[in-house]
Structure 1
């Protein structure tokens, strides 16, 4: 085998021969051009295979001898094109330094205006070839594979194919790697890159040579042998890993196996790698109309990559890199790049965009897992700063911003791992509304910005959305933002969101909404053996971030896991009965989750009833927290463990307030359930009821069936009442095996089904409020105001205690008293210097009493007329 030094000596000794050959070639070519000018036609084809010089070091191609026979018109035209091709300063001549070292072939392309792309014309024709060195026998020439060093011959280590347009400008280029050892080196360097790897032999590289441009500096360091460079060290580590693991090389040429296990494989292949980089550099520089890539390769400064045009966005997004975007309420969020591609949609109504398939990180309710998603960069003209793009690399973040993302990720993990019974939090701020209701869940309608109304999507939009979800993945780009004021209670639970909330209607269960993020249909990483066994690829794509359920409570092994956690959690807004996305940073722990003094503020006529209620509630709560030792049980295991409380009486006397007090005293969520949540469809009643009770069990919540008489009326034989009968029957069946707490309220006790009544553990009657209770309610609400919030607090308190006030408050309930004070405070805040006055309270009390009397009279007359059973009460 010839060494590099031998080749140099050979070139020196033959310098004069080469110069003579070049001059003879030029003279012959000029004569040929003059002879064929009159015969040239418009046919354009790549010149036929030319005969190269006899030496491997030659940088020119031997001119073909004159053809003494009468050539045809077509042949003359071909040779005319041959001269034009070789003289083209903007294309082929730029590659002349590779003549004799690299096999170069060409092919013409013609523009297809209809399909807006180039189509090949004719066949590939050789421009320059490489011959075996002197001393190689004819038999060896026939059997020698490219770059087989042991044979002593040198043939083309790579084949460069150039595509030319009608003006001889190069519009396409690819390189076919013929050297097996160079193939091995490339595959080991890019073992982490999708499409490469130990079991995937890559022989063809197409322009614009994405992976090579993205890792250009690393490849240069490898070619130059900079041993202390991180890329070279990483390469050495991979080689060592291959040696130690004995990785299966099935399907590879044996030489690849030898290369991976040898100590000098890299040294032998560096020259060919350096030549490959030079060829790629020339191909990039000669690409028509695009000089930005060439600047990236030639400029060592970082500024060369801070500005980019749309066509070269792929240079910004390397597979495995961390990028940042804003998809949820303008919050920064990090993603792992899997691949990027340009979308070529040019249909009416669609604009081209750059699509990134990325990994986001999320809590599924059972484990932390990467979820494939799609980010987009819409088409733009000219150049832009990388940092101004809607998706940009994480390296552009400041240290403070990066630290914020990591701390937010730690908070995200802590919230998601909250134990059962401790998922109740406070929240203030913007949220994204996804659905409303429990049991019977209604997906959120999208906002029609043109008409400023809340409407359903048009059938066409709905069809397009469905097709997108079937082909690609779930599309959550339509969002409704709702503000939550005043530190209201929310339950954070992704699993319930998926199983009992809006997730019941989603096509892909693990794709839970994340702002405007589009999800990708493929829900898991590739499971083929090639990808699964590719350590570098899995490391680059962070497949180890997909945690097994047994490891979810451990500290994340990599800080980047915290970095890529989403800025939102999923939950349920209790008072508004909405399924929402919430900002992680605005979710706050409740300082005093359990308030044992809550019952002290509850106004009940019977002290004994209040004490009995408190005793039952706390006993049931403590029993669920204990190991149930010594507890009485039903004959059937799992039955009779619920606590069912019935509160009945007129409106506004504290029934709902009692349920809220029980929830506050035990620190548990309170689920308001109405007939709208259950429905009356016999086919759905059971499913909806089961979902409600399972949801309550998951949250250890208290269920409140407010105005329960609406759907728990006595069953009858009337056909029209069959749906309601089904509801009562299902409730009774589900209630048998429910172990939580259920509170029912009603002001029409006699309409209750008797079977329901028999399930009650405690029933408490609430009569109209007496004068003393009304005064205490007044003073309790007044006590929430500061001294400076009233004009004369002493006068107001005295008026409340005055005997003459009794008549003014006669007939008012607790809810009305609350409304009087709240309305008076709001009215005076705008009209009387922001201070509550006695005069405002009196005016509102008189108006409320007058309105209540009129409503009560109308309701009494209506019920006497329409409800025969009411007359007997």
Structure 2
């Protein structure tokens, strides 16, 4: 890109200043080549050091073969006159030429030009308005290199000159209009002579809708909107700069440094991303380039509207948001590649948390500058400007997305971090990614915003929980109230004892885990489920992992469920020092937890005494009685009917695929196959056909809630295989097959209870 330089004086002025200073009658400069050796060795009185008011000028002497020189007190004899002086300042344009060695058609080529004409500056002020890196009002307006600003705006320059000619031809033309035309044509002729082939070739290629690799730079104008697909996502960027270079493998590419808008967890800002176009031979359709100017997109208006809507969704997700996700999540690995995960479930979108818990992958932005243009403070969208150094970073060679090139991160409580309402342009170039935490996978990942959805909370989860009503009211009221006032009560030591711990103890399958799940569903807050396996058994790492989980839960107002917490809660002994460390760590960290924690266990008698004083509510779950089991059977069968009704609304799956039909010589499956598929789909989606007598009979069986769920799930699959609705005979078949497992489980539980109790 053409560089622009400014200065307040010429080299000749500097030399005149030196001569003037030398002529001032100050302390004489007595050091000359005629000084004798004795005079040079005369020692100066220490009181006179630095007291002479004047300059002592030294000049570089001749260089030796290593390029080194000695300072001397006389002006070099081969010093010529400056090239730019008072005589050169009168010309409208100063043209600098250099020798050409690789072009047989000419011996000189244009190196740079210096625009001195105020008439030309007035013209270029409108032509180059908004072009990055160009300030036309400077005293020294200089262009060099490929003269990108003038070539990119060649059409605008030509049109402006035509308007000047038309104005000069009018009867009421100003006296300076003719001079303006002359100066403008002077610049036009100069550029046309030097870049005629480039301008004509570029114009011809654009008109034909194609481009060559050599002329790509003429296609991409800084600040223009460009379209690209990155990570299978449609993207529109604001072009920052471009250059020819190489990728990480040494292959020639044309680099494009693009700007986009992103949220760093505290504020909105811009980042830069380097994308590339590999070198190619001959011409190539502009629409086939991996990145192209948006104006060449066949559906640019629809694309802009689509990305503005997507950017609005990203804007709404700024901050911490509890959402559902169904798609691919990914994170960068240590090799610079991407680890991808199929995520289907609940996530927490939290960019600030991403930065806090993943400091090696922080999101950095350069803040947006907001111009209010007469609107009230904080209202409406601002204009996007990029501030900071515009250095090109060759370290990133990917063309499939990646970490931003520049920017910086600020604290969440920074006073300068104000919420900005994004304009449509900013939404359009906004990143399609949000950062957050996948609760089931327990991973911090990048998520595509198109796959983020609102959660459809179950309004029957807490209602279907089989517990005495007073216990249900106590648990829900206690947790909901604590969440609202969790910071109002404190210990003697600040930050200590603010959390609430609920212990749920009882045999397996009686609803301990379901209690925490249904409370979180009723309160519409995240539930973080943790087990000893998630933390490991190494005391050196357990504390940091546990503290990180507790910090996340506090930040999100999430409920924390530590399932089967026996290893951390069991009484300490003299023989298990490593496990004693785990218990001590858990006790210490738990004391400063500020959220709500559920602990589940079926071995409460083995707890360490130190935990008893830290538990606020303890609820004992008994084995399910006949009435409770009937309620569980009823609840699961109701859910089954709801799922069947939803499935019936879906399109039936064809029994014969199109591929199989083609292999049999048919274009598509026939009408008979379609009718058969519809009939089978109808039969499979029947409500259950079990009556009250069947449910009472099943309730007599000594089963826990988890076993009932598994039996019904297996029976439903069997009924679907037979193309029937769920019946008692399907349940009986499953019970006969799994009877030995239930007996073994019951015997095991009885033996364990007799040992501990």
Q: Fold conserved (TM > 0.5)?
A: yes
Match of 1:617, SS state, is helix
Match of 2:251, SS state, is coil
Is 1:430 matched with 2:327? Answer: yes
Q: Which one of 843, 854, 865 corresponds to residue 733 of structure 2?
A: 843
Match of 1:652, SS state, is coil
Q: Which one of 585, 609, 614 corresponds to residue 759 of structure 1?
A: 614
Deviations 1:723-771 (A, max 9, x none): x433333332333233311001112223332212321111112222222
User: Which whole-Å CA distance do the structure 2 matches of 1:746 and 1:760 have between them?
Assistant: 13
User: Which whole-Å CA distance do the structure 2 matches of 1:579 and 1:489 have between them?
Assistant: 13
Deviations 1:236-264 (A, max 9, x none): xxxxxxxxxxxxxxxxxxxxxxxxxxx99
Offset, 1:848: 2.9
Is 1:713 matched with 2:570? Answer: yes
Partner of residue 676, structure 2: none
Is 1:615 matched with 2:518? Answer: no
Instruction: Report if aligned partners of 1:678, 1:688 keep a CA contact under 8 Å in 2.
Output: yes
Offset, 1:602: 0.5
Residues 797 and 335 (structure 1), Cα distance of their counterparts in 2 relative to 1, 3 Å cut: same
Instruction: Report if aligned partners of 1:778, 1:800 keep a CA contact under 8 Å in 2.
Output: no
Deviations 1:579-611 (A, max 9, x none): 333332332333558x4x64321012x444333
Is 1:480 matched with 2:340? Answer: yes
User: Which whole-Å CA distance do the structure 2 matches of 1:321 and 1:394 have between them?
Assistant: 8
Offset, 1:777: 1.4
Is 1:205 matched with 2:144? Answer: yes
Partner of residue 113, structure 2: 177
Partner of residue 818, structure 1: 709
Deviations 1:838-860 (A, max 9, x none): 33222222333322333565788
179-188 vs 664-673, which deviates more? 179-188
Partner of residue 88, structure 2: 146
Partner of residue 280, structure 1: 191
Aligned residues: 594
Is 1:296 matched with 2:202? Answer: yes
Deviations 1:629-648 (A, max 9, x none): xxx65444543332210111
Offset, 1:553: 3.5
Q: Which one of 272, 277, 287 corresponds to residue 372 of structure 1?
A: 272
Is 1:684 matched with 2:684? Answer: no
Query: Superposition pairs for residues 219-258 of structure 1, below 5 Å?
Result: 219-226=157-164
Q: Which one of 453, 471, 494 corresponds to residue 588 of structure 1?
A: 453
Partner of residue 700, structure 1: 557
Instruction: Report if aligned partners of 1:220, 1:274 keep a CA contact under 8 Å in 2.
Output: no
Offset, 1:216: 0.8
Is 1:217 matched with 2:155? Answer: yes
User: Which whole-Å CA distance do the structure 2 matches of 1:142 and 1:379 have between them?
Assistant: 41
Instruction: Report if aligned partners of 2:164, 2:180 keep a CA contact under 8 Å in 1.
Output: no
Q: Which one of 571, 575, 591 corresponds to residue 440 of structure 2?
A: 575
- TM-score of the two chains, using structure 2 as the length reference: 0.69
Instruction: Report if aligned partners of 1:322, 1:334 keep a CA contact under 8 Å in 2.
Output: yes
User: Which whole-Å CA distance do the structure 2 matches of 1:850 and 1:221 have between them?
Assistant: 91
Offset, 1:368: 0.5
User: Which whole-Å CA distance do the structure 2 matches of 1:655 and 1:834 have between them?
Assistant: 34
User: Which whole-Å CA distance do the structure 1 matches of 2:477 and 2:553 have between them?
Assistant: 22
Offset, 1:492: 1.2
Partner of residue 634, structure 2: 779
Partner of residue 796, structure 1: 690
User: Which whole-Å CA distance do the structure 1 matches of 2:84 and 2:688 have between them?
Assistant: 113
Q: Which one of 290, 303, 312 corresponds to residue 410 of structure 1?
A: 312
Is 1:603 matched with 2:459? Answer: no
Partner of residue 11, structure 2: none
RMSD of equivalent CA atoms: 3.9
Instruction: Report if aligned partners of 1:715, 1:725 keep a CA contact under 8 Å in 2.
Output: yes
Instruction: Report if aligned partners of 1:680, 1:727 keep a CA contact under 8 Å in 2.
Output: yes
Instruction: Report if aligned partners of 1:498, 1:509 keep a CA contact under 8 Å in 2.
Output: no
Match of 2:214, SS state, is helix
Match of 1:660, SS state, is helix
Is 1:644 matched with 2:498? Answer: no
User: Which whole-Å CA distance do the structure 2 matches of 1:389 and 1:357 have between them?
Assistant: 16
User: Which whole-Å CA distance do the structure 1 matches of 2:340 and 2:478 have between them?
Assistant: 42
Residues 479 and 265 (structure 1), Cα distance of their counterparts in 2 relative to 1, 3 Å cut: farther
Instruction: Report if aligned partners of 1:602, 1:661 keep a CA contact under 8 Å in 2.
Output: yes
Offset, 1:550: 5.8
User: Which whole-Å CA distance do the structure 1 matches of 2:166 and 2:351 have between them?
Assistant: 47
Residues 638 and 314 (structure 1), Cα distance of their counterparts in 2 relative to 1, 3 Å cut: same
Residues 574 and 212 (structure 1), Cα distance of their counterparts in 2 relative to 1, 3 Å cut: same
Partner of residue 129, structure 1: none
Partner of residue 346, structure 2: 489
Offset, 1:144: 4.5
Match of 1:769, SS state, is coil
Offset, 1:510: 5.8
Match of 1:601, SS state, is coil
Is 1:317 matched with 2:220? Answer: yes
User: Which whole-Å CA distance do the structure 2 matches of 1:569 and 1:296 have between them?
Assistant: 40
Partner of residue 517, structure 1: 401
Match of 2:462, SS state, is helix
Partner of residue 833, structure 1: 723
- TM-score of the two chains, using structure 1 as the length reference: 0.61
Partner of residue 98, structure 1: none
User: Which whole-Å CA distance do the structure 2 matches of 1:265 and 1:782 have between them?
Assistant: 92
Deviations 1:523-545 (A, max 9, x none): 269xxxxxxxxxxxxxxxxxxxx
Instruction: Report if aligned partners of 1:792, 1:837 keep a CA contact under 8 Å in 2.
Output: no
Gaps of 5+ in 2: 1-80, 168-173, 367-395, 646-681
Partner of residue 523, structure 2: 666
Q: Which one of 582, 586, 594 corresponds to residue 731 of structure 1?
A: 586
User: Which whole-Å CA distance do the structure 2 matches of 1:142 and 1:163 have between them?
Assistant: 22
Instruction: Report if aligned partners of 1:671, 1:696 keep a CA contact under 8 Å in 2.
Output: yes
Query: Superposition pairs for residues 500-539 of structure 1, below 5 Å?
Result: 500=357, 503-506=358-361, 516-523=400-407
Instruction: Report if aligned partners of 2:115, 2:140 keep a CA contact under 8 Å in 1.
Output: no
Instruction: Report if aligned partners of 2:505, 2:602 keep a CA contact under 8 Å in 1.
Output: yes
Deviations 1:453-476 (A, max 9, x none): xxxx7xxxx3xx4xxxxxxxxxxx
Residues 601 and 142 (structure 1), Cα distance of their counterparts in 2 relative to 1, 3 Å cut: closer
Query: Superposition pairs for residues 253-268 of structure 1, below 5 Å?
Result: 268=179
Offset, 1:708: 1.0
